[in-house]
């Protein structure tokens, strides 16, 4: 199993795009069930940074929702909480250290909860060590591919021949 990148919580990923104070305000309104307050906060141009709008719009499309509030309801259901102990395969977790969408702490949380996995390997990239910094996503797909192939070779059974070139 390969997690490319490691995403623990869809709601946390969405909130990561907002300024910390605004993220807490939004989650408070959302958890209180305040649809109007949530929609108003999400709709203000001053708070709707480009990345937030892209995540929200793509998320609404992917989840088939029509409003930001309904998107938050849907994305809150996308979480690994309470299920990782069921994973019994070999697993590769990947993360880019300065990825704007994902939090490097999620990889550590996943590792702590993968108690029944046959093996757990974590691969991350430091922007100081490798440029571009994104191992996990398309920022450096060659680096991500090479890391995946290096991980697969000893994990796959049989006489599979792999090349990273």
155-165: pLDDT as tens digits: 777 665 655 55
Is 144 a domain residue? yes
Domain limit, last residue, from 21, 41, 76: 76
The percent of residues in the chain predicted with pLDDT above 70, rounded, is 72
Is 111 a domain residue? yes
Number of domains in the chain: 2
Is 161 a domain residue? no
Is 162 a domain residue? no
pLDDT digits (tens, 9 = 90+) for 144-154: 778 888 888 88
Is 136 a domain residue? yes
pTM of this prediction? 0.69
- Higher model confidence: residue 58 or residue 125? 58
Is 23 a domain residue? yes
- Higher model confidence: residue 161 or residue 20? 20
Q: Based on the fold, state whether residues 72 and 92 are members of the same structural domain.
A: no
Domain that holds residue 45: 10-76
**Could you write out the DSSP letters of every residue in the chain?**
-EESS---BHHHHHHTTS-HHHHHHHHHHHHTT-HHHHHHHHH-TTT--HHHHHHHHHHHHHHT-SSHHHHHHHHHT-B-TTTGGG--SEEEEEEETT-SSS-THHHHHHHHH-TT-SEEEEEEE-TTTSSSS-SSSGGGHHHHHHHHHHHHHHHS-S-------
Check pLDDT > 60 for residue 110.
yes
Q: Based on the fold, state whether residues 97 and 42 are members of the same structural domain.
A: no
């Amino acid at each position: 199993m390969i997690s490319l990148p490691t995403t623990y919580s869809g709601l946390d990923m969405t909130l990561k795009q907002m300024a910390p104070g605004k993220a807490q305000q939004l989650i408070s309104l959302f958890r209180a069930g305040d649809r109007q307050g949530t929609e108003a906060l999400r709709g203000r141009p001053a708070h709707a940074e480009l990345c937030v709008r892209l995540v929200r719009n793509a998320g609404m499309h992917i989840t088939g929702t029509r409003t930001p509030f309904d998107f938050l309801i849907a994305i809150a259901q996308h979480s690994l909480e309470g299920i990782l102990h069921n994973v019994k395969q070999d697993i590769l977790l990947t993360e880019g250290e300065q990825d704007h969408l994902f939090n490097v702490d999620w990889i550590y949380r996943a590792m702590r909860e993968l108690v029944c996995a046959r093996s757990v390997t974590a691969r991350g990239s430091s922007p100081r060590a490798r440029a571009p910094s994104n191992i996990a996503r398309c920022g450096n797909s060659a680096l991500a591919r090479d890391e995946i192939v290096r991980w697969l070779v000893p994990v796959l059974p049989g006489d599979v021949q792999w090349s990273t070139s």
